[in-house]
């Protein structure tokens, strides 16, 4: 994962610029730009989802809907005290930070295109360079492709990875550490398989270990 030079001198200055971003609106991909993310300098964990949903679009808070409630349950199992603790300790963003709209058939939210991901990528790159998180949680297949390209959820859920893509079996000695999770959306069928639920259980335990490590690491 490259750490490119960024034009922002601080995370707050990047956030101000990101909130004013209209790239996808100007390119015709969405009706109205409304970037949704949350976080602050000093957070050690960064979570990257696919895109905000319609609830987040209204409330300006990542994972504010049903999928967010499921995600919070997972993170509490991973050692966070409650939702307030999650939001205080985790920087939350997405591969595209504006609601992409519904699918043409109305069956769920539209998956952002590669072009939209490319337009939004500088914001993620900037946050990575300025925040330097110790643990990154890619949520779902779109984020997984960004951080562990070419991998499948079935092959990575339940494990932790170095930035290079190598699996970590012992105490890490570098940052960031990647701990992928499936998407918590009820539209996802990935967790319908009991074997995959077992993988999720392993992932939550691994995440607990890595967050504890990140908190203790100087």
**C-beta of residue 181 within 8 angstroms of C-beta of residue 74:** yes
Per the domain annotation, does 6 fall within a domain?
no
Tell me the average pLDDT across 140-149. Answer: 96
Q: Which domain CATH number covers 148?
A: 3.40.470.10
Q: Look at residue 4 and tell me whether its pLDDT is greater than 60.
A: no
Q: Look at residue 26 and tell me whether its pLDDT is greater than 60.
A: yes
Per the domain annotation, does 4 fall within a domain?
no
Tell me the average pLDDT across 111-138. Answer: 96
Q: Which domain holds residue 15?
A: 11-216
Strand ranges of the sheet holding 90-94, from the earlier edge strand across to the other edge: 90-94, 45-49, 135-138, 177-178
Which whole-number Å values give the CA distances from 60 to 11, 26, 84, 179, 214, in the listed order?
18, 20, 16, 25, 28
Confidence band, pLDDT 50/70/90 cuts, at residue 60: confident
Strand-pairing partners, residue 181, are 139
pTM recorded for the entire structure: 0.93
In the chain, how many domains are there? 1
pLDDT at 106: 72
């Amino acid at each position: 994962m490259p750490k490119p030079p960024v034009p922002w001198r601080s995370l707050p200055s990047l956030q101000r610029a990101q909130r004013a971003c209209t790239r996808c609106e100007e390119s015709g991909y969405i009706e109205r730009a409304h970037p949704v993310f949350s976080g602050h300098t000093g957070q050690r964990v960064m979570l990257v989802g696919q895109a905000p949903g319609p609830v987040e679009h209204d409330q300006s808070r990542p994972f504010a809907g049903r999928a967010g409630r499921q995600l919070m349950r997972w993170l509490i199992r991973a050692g966070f005290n409650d939702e307030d603790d999650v939001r205080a300790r985790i920087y939350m963003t997405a591969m595209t930070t504006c609601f992409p709209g519904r699918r043409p058939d109305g069956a769920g939210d539209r998956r952002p295109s590669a072009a939209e991901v490319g337009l939004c990528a500088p914001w993620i790159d900037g946050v990575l360079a300025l925040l330097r998180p110790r643990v990154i949680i890619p949520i779902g297949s779109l984020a997984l492709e960004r951080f562990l390209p070419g991998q499948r959820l079935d092959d990575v859920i339940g494990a932790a990875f170095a930035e290079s893509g190598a699996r970590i079996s012992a105490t890490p000695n570098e940052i960031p550490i990647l701990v992928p999770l499936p998407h918590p959306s009820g539209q996802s069928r990935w967790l319908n398989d009991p074997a995959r639920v077992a993988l999720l259980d392993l992932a939550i335990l691994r995440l607990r270990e890595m967050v504890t490590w990140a908190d203790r690491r100087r």
